[in-house]
Amino acid sequence: MDKHTKIVISTDEIGVDGLQVEGLLDSACLDIGNDPRFSTEKDIEYTLLLQMLDGGLLISGTAFIALNCVCDNCLVTVEKKIHLEEIYQLIEAPIPREVDLTELIREDIVMGFPFKISCDDSDNCENYLALVETEDKKPVPEKNPWTELDNLKL
């Protein structure tokens, strides 16, 4: 599949049956570099159908990306797959000669980011529970006032 940094479609190319576009969009457009919770080296896979209607241009389709997310509980990085199954947008007439679909996909993908991240999809991930358990089992250092007095060697 072709990889793009932008998806710009010339509306002249859209025939009576519509125009299907698919490919890979560089995930750099997501601009998530400042968010330590998310990262990805993968590209966004997209399949879009553009159809001319009386009232405008209908864009529908799907997009997918594998995203590395940091678990809110144990800070382990896990891969989450974001599938957008129902991209749906109407650009009302007058339709420009060129439409840039990059922003459309970007917005939909970012809105699909998980709000709460758990490495095993439960509320409190197992790693976290294990971590809490070990903390609990740590022996509490005993403070015996007499031993401490001994230590002072009075």
Which CB, 25 or 71, lies closer to Zn ion?
71
Which residue, among 102, 88, 84, 89, has the nearest Cα to 9 in the 3D structure?
A: 102
Question: Which of residues 73, 84, 91, 108 is near Zn ion by CB under 5 A?
Answer: 73
Q: Compute CA distances 117 → 20, 31, 42, 107, 139, whole Å.
A: 34, 19, 19, 19, 31
Query: What are the DSSP calls for 6-45, one per residue?
Result: --EEEGGG-BTTBEEEEEEE-GGGG--TT-TTEE-SSPEE
Q: Measured from the CB of residue 51, what is the shortest distance to Zn ion in angstroms?
A: 43
119 is a contact residue toward Zn ion (CB under 5 A): yes
Contact region with Zn ion (CB under 5 A), list: 10-18, 55-63, 107-115, 116-124? 116-124
> 53 — alpha (psi -120 to 50), left (phi > 0) or beta?
beta
Instruction: Verify binding: residue 69, Zn ion, rule CB under 5 A.
Output: no
Nearest alpha-carbon partner for 117 in 39, 43, 46:
39
Asked whether position 71 contacts Zn ion by CB under 5 A, the answer is yes
The answer to whether 9 contacts Zn ion (rule: CB under 5 A) is: no
Cβ distance to Zn ion smaller for residue 74 or 101: 74
* DSSP code of residue 114: -
Site for Zn ion in 123-152 (CB under 5 A): 125, 127
* In the complex, least distance from residue 45 CB atom to Zn ion, rounded to whole angstroms: 27
SS (H, E, C) 58-77: EEEEEEEEEEEEECCCCCCE
117 binds Zn ion (CB under 5 A): no
Q: Quick one: 95 or 131, whose CB is closer to Zn ion?
A: 131
- In whole angstroms, the minimum distance from the beta carbon of 73 to Zn ion comes to 4
The footprint of Zn ion (CB under 5 A) covers 71, 73-74, 119, 125, 127
